[in-house]
Amino acid sequence: MITRRPRIGLTMDVDLETARFHIRKDYPSAVEAAGALPILLPPLEGPVAAGFLALLDGLVVTGGAFDVPPELYGEARREACGPHKEERTRFEKDLLEAALAVSLPVLGICGGMQLLNVVRGGTLYQDLEADAGIGGHEQRQPREVATHAVRIAAGTRLARLLGAGSELRVNSAHHQAVRDPGTGVLVAASAPDGVVEAIELPDQPFALGVQWHPEALRQGDPRQAAIFAGLVEAARSGRT
């Protein structure tokens, strides 16, 4: 008898100039290494979220070099805000809302974490330096290099996943961050300068967001791989 592996959806990016969808290979590799089958989700126009979710046991909303439109959290765009990809954001927002409505396990990475907070009614710093006077979160080193520490909040799902120790070394590739946590959003980790580095939704079986890129760090730090293992285990447990 063949046992089906959990199917984890991974949102893809879109390059409008070349008319291509793409994704960094670290993402599907991390999901496959955790024991699941990665399913790539191109950001198509139209009401396709329900159709994709019917195929999935879990969802990863990936990061990218663009910002969440501030109109989604009730603000006008300011000069320091970066480029938008409105069609991708609409697609990912629809996916997240539909996934949370049926308690599908969800992991948001970098911009995916920020969107998870916005979907729950939270807000973002459009630019950390301009809005809060905080710099140093856009590292020049490769993604595989951890450049600062985060402190994990005790008693959180993230703390249980990572095991012993209250600190973790992470990479940093963002200029936006969570400002006001949304409804039911728990801050699970913070940087020494106070920037929110992880969130979770205790009212969901598994809904976690991390500001860093564990897919790029997991081979050098097994604790990072535990984040994907937790998602896959939740997907396996919740499958009927």
Tell me which residues are annotated as active site.
110, 213, 215
> How far is CA 10 from each of CA 3, 24, 101, 172, 217, rounded to the nearest angstrom?
21, 10, 18, 21, 18
Tell me the three-class secondary structure of 138-174, residue by residue. Answer: ECCCCCCCCCEEEEECCCCHHHHHHCCCCEEEECCEC
d(CA 231, CA 108): 11
Given phi > 0 = left and psi -120 to 50 = alpha, else beta, which region is 177? beta
Paired residues of 138 in beta bridges: 173
Strands 124-125, 177-178: pairing is: antiparallel
Phi, psi (deg, nearest 5) at residue 209: -130, 135
For helices 26-33 and 222-238, the axis angle rounded to 10 degrees is 70
Structure tokens at 145: 């290099």
